């Protein structure tokens, strides 16, 4: 087949290194089939799936189940996070050496189910458990809220966001960086969202890499007034000062990867009043269009986008055969039309939960074709063929 790409840009297959596809556990909002369909519709060729499912992915048995389950269901390639829990510290080294594991995810401040490693001794044991880069959830929101219960009642979201800036995220990140230095274990700090953390982490480049989220580059706290619970995520969307710091960190090289933190919740959950609305926003399908729009708006270059959504994830996680185009790499491509202007509509969203915090937003720059190992799997909004996604491979 000849594919005419006149007037288009052909990029190495783009990767969302931070998604929650909810399977097993919550098929009413997302599954591996629907979440990876959303991914290819949005121009992604690989996603890395988080372990906080129900049950969570903490054992070899559950990991094997997930790896076998994706065959014939996944529309794109998929890497698996393993969750650190107090019960599996002794197994973590063996689990992270599994070829399809992108890394161990640590929730040290907030979590779902059994994935909480919050005390210093357990966290240090996790850091000493293996040698690949650990993925760290940078937020201590719930732990600190528990310390200040009065804080959670009746305050507008704006103030929540500002209070968290000064006390929360930063505490956990500082503790982890101290442990990283002490143990020699490097960490990928996920969803860094404050100016203070970003400037602090510049001094820890020897032991850390940095993820920021599309949402923190795209939305500020005015979104709470417009979207209510549909703007609530963890870590929270913050004010313009923090967004400016995130863009400065993209420009100066502090940021290694940009993820969506795609975290579907039902409409019913999102419409509950604060603080009972689930924390998390959909994003896997809108990551590439919004980042391309940022390119057109002059906030980053197209090569830098490829860095953050392809070469960066490949380097940070040790992804094999996908980063940048080179001999011997999979023929994964994202073909984009930088001139196409289109509005994000909820009718386009493939996730069963059916909503996006970006509905009505116009993007200039749009993925028009997704190619995996030479097969076009998406072309002009149509998903093509059969689900041919396979488990992604990582260097041990």
| Positions marked catalytic | 261
Tokens of 134: 């650990």
Nearest alpha-carbon partner for 290 in 363, 184, 370, 203? 363
Looking only at the bridges linking them, the beta strands covering 101-107 and 134-137 are: parallel
Site for ligand DOR in 335-374 (CB under 6 A): none
Looking only at the bridges linking them, the beta strands covering 77-83 and 44-49 are: parallel
Q: Which of 180, 279, 377, 392 binds ligand DOR (CB under 6 A)?
A: 279
Which sign, positive or negative, has the C-alpha torsion 42, 44, 46, 52? negative
β-bridge partners, 104: 82
Site for ligand DOR in 141-200 (CB under 6 A): none
Give the position of tokens 């189910």: 113
Nearest alpha-carbon partner for 21 in 1, 37, 42? 37
- Burial class of residue 80 in the structure, from the number of CB atoms within 10 Å of its CB (0-12 exposed, 13-18 middle, 19+ buried): buried
Minimal distance in Å, beta carbon 297 to ligand DOR?
25
* Residue 52 touches which member of Zn ion, ligand DOR, none, C-beta under 5-8 Å by kind: ligand DOR
Minimal distance in Å, beta carbon 20 to Zn ion?
6
Residue, CB closest to ligand DOR: 280
49 close to 58: Cβ distance less than 8 angstroms: no
DSSP 89: G
Strand order in the sheet with 375-379: 9-12, 333-343, 362-372, 375-379, 382-383
Q: Is 270 in the site for ligand DOR (CB under 6 A)?
A: no
Minimal distance in Å, beta carbon 299 to ligand DOR?
23
369 close to 378: Cβ distance less than 8 angstroms: yes
Q: Which of 17, 45, 209, 234 binds ligand DOR (CB under 6 A)?
A: 234
Minimal distance in Å, beta carbon 336 to ligand DOR?
28
CA distance 319 to 257: 13
* Residue 88 touches which member of Zn ion, ligand DOR, none, C-beta under 5-8 Å by kind: none
CA distance 366 to 286: 10
Q: CB-wise, 135 or 390, nearer to ligand DOR? A: 135
Q: Which of 165, 261, 293, 330 binds Zn ion (CB under 5 A)?
A: 261
Minimal distance in Å, beta carbon 283 to Zn ion?
10
Q: Which of 66, 105, 132, 137 binds ligand DOR (CB under 6 A)?
A: 137
User: Stretches 83-91, 136-144, 171-179, 265-273: which one binds Zn ion (CB under 5 A)?
Assistant: 136-144
Q: Which of 137, 160, 188, 242 binds Zn ion (CB under 5 A)?
A: 137
Site for ligand DOR in 194-233 (CB under 6 A): 233
Minimal distance in Å, beta carbon 166 to ligand DOR?
20
First to last CA, the chain: 36
* Residue 233 touches which member of ligand DOR, Zn ion, none, C-beta under 5-8 Å by kind: ligand DOR
Residues that bind ligand DOR (CB under 6 A): 20, 52, 137, 233-234, 263, 279-280
Residues that bind Zn ion (CB under 5 A): 137, 261
């Amino acid at each position: 087949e000849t594919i005419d790409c006149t007037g288009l840009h052909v990029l190495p297959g783009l990767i969302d290194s931070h998604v929650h596809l909810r399977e097993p556990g919550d098929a009413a909002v997302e599954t591996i089939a629907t979440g990876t369909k959303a991914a290819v519709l949005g121009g992604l060729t690989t996603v890395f799936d988080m372990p906080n499912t129900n049950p969570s992915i903490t054992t070899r048995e559950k990991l094997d189940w997930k790896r076998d389950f994706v065959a014939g269901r996944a529309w794109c390639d998929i890497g698996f996070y393993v969750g650190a829990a107090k019960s599996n510290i002794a197994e973590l080294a063996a689990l992270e050496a599994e070829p399809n594991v992108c890394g161990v995810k640590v929730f040290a401040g907030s979590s779902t189910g059994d994935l909480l490693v919050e005390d210093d001794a357990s966290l240090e044991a996790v850091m000493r458990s293996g040698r690949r880069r650990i993925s760290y959830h940078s937020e201590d929101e719930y732990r600190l809220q528990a310390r200040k219960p009065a804080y959670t009642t009746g305050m507008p979201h704006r103030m929540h966001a500002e209070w968290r800036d000064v006390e929360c995220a930063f505490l956990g990140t500082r503790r982890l960086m101290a442990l990283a230095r002490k143990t020699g274990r490097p960490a990928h700090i996920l969803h860094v969202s404050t100016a203070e953390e970003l400037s602090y982490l510049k001094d820890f480049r020897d032991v850390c890499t940095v993820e920021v989220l599309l949402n923190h580059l795209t939305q500020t706290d005015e979104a709470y007034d417009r979207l209510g619970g549909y703007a609530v995520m963890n870590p929270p969307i913050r004010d313009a000062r923090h967004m400016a710091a995130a863009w400065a960190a993209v420009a100066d090289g502090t940021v290694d990867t940009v993820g969506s933190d795609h975290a579907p919740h039902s409409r019913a959950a999102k419409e509950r009043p604060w603080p009972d609305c689930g924390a998390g926003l959909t994003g896997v399908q809108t990551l590439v269009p919004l980042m391309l729009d940022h390119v057109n708006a002059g906030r980053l270059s197209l090569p830098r986008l490829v860095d953050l959504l392809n070469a960066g994830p490949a380097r940070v996680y040790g992804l094999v055969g996908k980063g940048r185009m080179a001999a011997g790499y999979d023929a994964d491509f994202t073909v984009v039309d930088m001139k196409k202007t289109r509005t994000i509509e909820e009718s386009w969203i493939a996730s069963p939960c059916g909503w996006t915090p970006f509905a009505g937003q116009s993007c200039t720059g749009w993925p028009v074709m997704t190619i995996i190992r030479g097969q076009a799997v998406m072309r002009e909004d149509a998903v093509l063929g059969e689900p041919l996604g396979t488990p992604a491979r990582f260097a041990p």
